[in-house]
């Protein structure tokens, strides 16, 4: 039987499949991708699954239910990484899913649905700049405009498909029909500090925040740093700085998350008053309503700053995605799995600030997620990403209990 130690050993083994010698980097349709598919497929077979690689390069394994051909519960996560990655983001979820199937088969559970384990080939978007390609293919939301996306060496997505042995014309075959699936469950490290701060191993995910990103510009008047007195200045950077602090305060008060990650002053001379500042904003919250209300407040504050300082503020949205909300009945299933394992009657609920495959699968079917504590303040997308064997053990028990809880309610 697969235990937590085995799962951690498997995460270590997959971490060796990297295109870089220092740190882990494993991108979509690369030789390393092929290698981890092969390895994961082998473990799926050991767990009693029939296996195949789908038309988008995702590795899949299937365990039939009580009778062959029943509608299917999907369990999955991703095997690709960001540059200089940790070894658990995505990978742990796939290893847990395989272990759950192994346990169900060993116990001769008769399930009212089949289970497909999905090891997605692209979640991070590291190679082609567009994320969730694997899960979007599965969800049937593949966009043919992506074929001309190119990686940094100029190879297009279409060429990469062919090099990987896939037929671009057949990518639609990777999609399920929504009538054939009964839901999607994903286990994933939290990638944040909340579980660690609460001293808890597991949480139920309520939603995945949809980010809005903006290119912001504050325009004032450039002038001589010595010659222009304060009362005549229209300093774009001083005004933008007020906006930056307001962004932090307003988001904090609303329970949202906001970041100004880039800021540049023009003309950028040490003895020139900044006449223009270009800066970015990334804004996320549990619901779109909360997020959009914070954005409206930010705009109000920016307008007030402009009036007071004689500046002009402009904004352009560069990215927008809606929050996706977990299905209540599958949230209950995850909650039941945690309660059955930890005895905690009211498990912690978190919304995800990071994107996940579930966002794409949400277009196909109902979904829910289990979050697992990762230590060191929840550091992720970093080689220091870590989980404990004890937490993996309770996560495995809870994920299995969740699938069994769903089987019980689905059959009823
Ligand atoms: Zn991930």
The token pair that represents 349 in the structure block: 């609920």
Q: Which CATH number fits domain 4-209+323-411: 3.30.70.60, 2.60.200.20, 3.40.630.10, 3.40.640.10?
A: 3.40.630.10
- Taking the C-alpha atoms of residue 361 and residue 193, their distance in angstroms, rounded to an integer, is 26
- Taking the C-alpha atoms of residue 16 and residue 84, their distance in angstroms, rounded to an integer, is 13
- Please report the pLDDT score of residue 1 as a whole number: 82
With beta carbons less than 8 A apart as the criterion, state whether 58 and 137 touch: yes
Nearest of 378, 388, 332 to residue 190 by alpha carbon? 378
Ligand 1 mean position, distance from CA 153 (Å): 25
Segments making up each domain of the chain, as ranges: 4-209+323-411, 210-321
Ligand 1 mean position, distance from CA 306 (Å): 40
- Please report the pLDDT score of residue 210 as a whole number: 86
The token pair that represents 25 in the structure block: 């980097």
Q: Could you tell me which CATH number the domain at 210-321 has?
A: 3.30.70.360
| Ranges of residues in the chain whose predicted pLDDT is under 50 | none
With beta carbons less than 8 A apart as the criterion, state whether 19 and 27 touch: yes
- Please report the pLDDT score of residue 237 as a whole number: 98
With beta carbons less than 8 A apart as the criterion, state whether 83 and 25 touch: yes
Give the torsion sign (CA, 147, 148, 149, 151).
positive
Distance of CA 281 to the CA centre of its chain: 19
Ligand 1 mean position, distance from CA 334 (Å): 18
Helix (H) or strand (E) holding 380: none
- Please report the pLDDT score of residue 371 as a whole number: 98
Helix (H) or strand (E) holding 236: helix 236-254
Ligand 1 mean position, distance from CA 356 (Å): 6
CB atoms within 10 A of CB 75: 26
Ligand 1 mean position, distance from CA 379 (Å): 13
């Amino acid at each position: 039987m697969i235990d937590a130690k085995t799962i951690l050993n498997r995460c270590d083994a997959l971490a060796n499949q990297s295109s870089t010698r220092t740190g882990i980097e494993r991108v979509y349709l690369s030789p390393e991708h092929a290698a981890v598919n092969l390895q994961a497929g082998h473990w799926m077979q050991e767990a009693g699954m029939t296996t195949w690689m789908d038309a988008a390069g995702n590795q899949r394994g299937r365990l039939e239910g009580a009778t062959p051909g029943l509608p299917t519960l999907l369990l999955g996560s991703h095997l690709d990484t960001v540059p200089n990655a940790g070894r658990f983001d995505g990978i742990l979820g796939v290893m847990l899913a395989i272990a759950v199937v192994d346990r169900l088969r060993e116990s001769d559970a008769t399930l009212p649905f089949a289970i497909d384990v999905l090891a997605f080939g692209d979640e991070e978007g590291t190679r082609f700049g567009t994320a969730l390609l694997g899960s979007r293919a599965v969800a049937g939301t593949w966009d043919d405009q992506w074929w001309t996306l190119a990686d940094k060496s100029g190879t297009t997505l279409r060429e990469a498909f062919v090099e990987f042995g896939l037929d671009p014309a057949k990518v639609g075959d990777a999609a399920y029909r929504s009538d054939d699936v009964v839901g999607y469950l994903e286990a994933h490290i939290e990638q944040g500090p909340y579980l660690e701060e609460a001293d808890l191993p597991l949480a139920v995910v309520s939603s995945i925040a949809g980010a809005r990103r903006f290119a912001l510009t504050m325009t004032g008047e450039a002038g001589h740093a010595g010659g222009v007195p304060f009362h005549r200045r229209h300093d774009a950077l001083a005004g933008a700085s007020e906006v930056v602090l307001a962004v932090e305060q307003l988001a904090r008060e609303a329970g949202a998350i906001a970041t100004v990650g880039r800021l540049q002053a023009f003309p950028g001379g040490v003895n020139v008053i900044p006449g223009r500042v270009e800066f970015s904003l990334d804004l996320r919250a549990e619901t779109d309503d909360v997020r959009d209300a914070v954005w409206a407040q930010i705009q109000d504050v920016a307008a007030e700053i402009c009036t007071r300082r004689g500046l002009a503020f402009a904004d352009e949205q560069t990215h927008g995605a809606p929050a996706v909300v977990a299905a209540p009945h599958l949230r209950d299933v995850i909650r039941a799995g945690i309660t059955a394992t930890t005895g905690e009657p009211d498990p912690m609920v978190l919304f995800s600030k990071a994107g996940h495959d579930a966002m794409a699968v949400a277009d196909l079917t109902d979904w829910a997620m289990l979050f697992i504590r990762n230590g060191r303040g929840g550091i992720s997308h970093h080689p220091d990403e870590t989980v404990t064997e004890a937490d993996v053990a309770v996560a495995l028990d809870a994920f299995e209990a969740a699938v069994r809880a769903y089987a019980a309610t689905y059959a009823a």
